[in-house]
Amino acid sequence: MKEVKTVGVIGFGVMGAAIGLGCATNGYKVVFKEVNDDLVKAMYDKNVAKPMAKRVQQGKMTQEEADKVCGAITGTSSFKDLAACDLIIEAAVEDINLKIQIFEEISKVVPKETIIVSNTSTFPIETLMQKVDNPTRTAGLHYFFPANVNKCLEVIRQKATSDETYEALVAFAKGNKKVPIAVVSFPGFAVNPIFIAAYDVLTSFAGKYNVATLESISQEALGIKYGIMWVLAGAGPGTPYHAAVSMVEYLGSTDIGWPPVSAALKEIYDQNKVWDINDGPVLEDPAARGEVRDLLLGSVFCIAKHLIAKKVVSVEDLDLGVRTALAWPKGPFQMMNEMGQEKAQKLMQLAVDAGYFKMPPM
């Protein structure tokens, strides 16, 4: 099995920097790539030097520890300087053509055994890696925000990914103190489809009920302290909207199905607004709350069962991933087991009757 000691990171914005800092903190050498030398320096100062100095100031680490992390990270504007890396993680913006071009450039300059992965949350790994030599060394590593804190790491196998590559990535995940989840390449992978389905359905009720009520219902339905609307408010308008659009494009006309993008989600995006989770009194009417809760859970259960039927992920790993990445106390299958399959089936039928999903194989 290939051992990873030096990690290349393409793109050193918020996500790339969090990945790089996590690696350096856990003893890996990191080489990050940016488009020019000025940006290399700016990103190092902003995302390495300043955060480490702040941690020392706050007493969260010693100066010696901070110096060690800073010294483990170097930047470059040349793809050629990535040739010494054992693993390269692409964390550029979600532009499919840009990513394909990046992987083609990487493939030209690194040894044929270097593992090459994408942190995409949207695009099929096979598509991104179409111009890479030796595709057996390609895969996905899907980090969850914030990447230096969230423990979940989806290890994405495409058809060509070798066992050796997969095993090396699982070992790398554990070396970074992550919880690795085995996933086969699929739109959104495994955990994101659960969350996107949940907010697609919940936001479809915006306008009928206020945001504070929808937040409260999601907290109650899922047993969470910070609800779905709170997460959407923190994520900003762009990412949730684009993810929802992508899932409709990928799955809407398939044997799985997908809820349409809600008018409220599109409006928030078009107007570049943030959800106001304190926009009024919380509705307590049990019937109204039950209507939202049941369709929300039924939709989550539908996509969860489809993921298993398509052999994207195991039941155990899906529940583990949802608990770890989303901080839900229970995964969808634990929820279904506790309420009983008969009730879970009735809730799924609601999502099917609404035209959101096809009924998954039982």
pLDDT (mean) for 204-227: 97
* Host domain of residue 294: 191-353
Is 1 a domain residue? no
- Is 0.85 surpassed by the pTM of this model? yes
- Decide if pLDDT at 114 tops 90: yes
Last residue of a domain, which of 184, 214, 247?
A: 184
Is 358 a domain residue? no
- Decide if pLDDT at 1 tops 80: no
d(CA 218, CA 195): 11
Is 361 a domain residue? no
d(CA 188, CA 149): 21
CA 22 to chain centre: 16
* Alpha carbon separation from 193 to 68, 119, 208, 342 (Å, rounded): 38, 16, 24, 23
**Helices vs strands, H then E, count in the chain:** 16, 8
Q: Give 348's DSSP letter.
A: H
- Decide if pLDDT at 362 tops 80: no
Element of type H or E holding 54: helix 50-57
d(CA 155, CA 157): 7
d(CA 188, CA 198): 13
| 199 torsion bin: left (phi>0), alpha (psi -120 to 50), beta (else) | alpha
Q: Are residues 224 and 85 in the same domain?
A: no
Question: The sheet that has 115-118: what strands, in order across it?
Answer: 73-76, 29-33, 6-10, 87-90, 115-118, 138-143, 152-157, 179-184
What's residue 205's pLDDT? 98
Q: Read off the pLDDT of residues 247-268 as tens digits, 9 standing for 90 and up.
A: 999 999 999 999 999 999 999 9
Is 248 a domain residue? yes
The CATH number linked to 207 is 1.10.1040.50
Q: Read off the pLDDT of residues 25-82 as tens digits, 9 standing for 90 and up.
A: 999 999 999 999 999 999 999 999 999 999 999 999 999 999 999 999 999 999 999 9
Q: Read off the pLDDT of residues 277-301 as tens digits, 9 standing for 90 and up.
A: 999 999 999 999 999 999 999 999 9
d(CA 230, CA 241): 15
Name, in order, each residue with C-beta under 8 angstroms of 54's C-beta and a sequence gap of 6 or more.
none
- Decide if pLDDT at 335 tops 80: yes
Q: Are residues 178 and 199 in the same domain?
A: no
d(CA 137, CA 154): 16
Q: Are residues 131 and 30 in the same domain?
A: yes
Q: Are residues 242 and 312 in the same domain?
A: yes
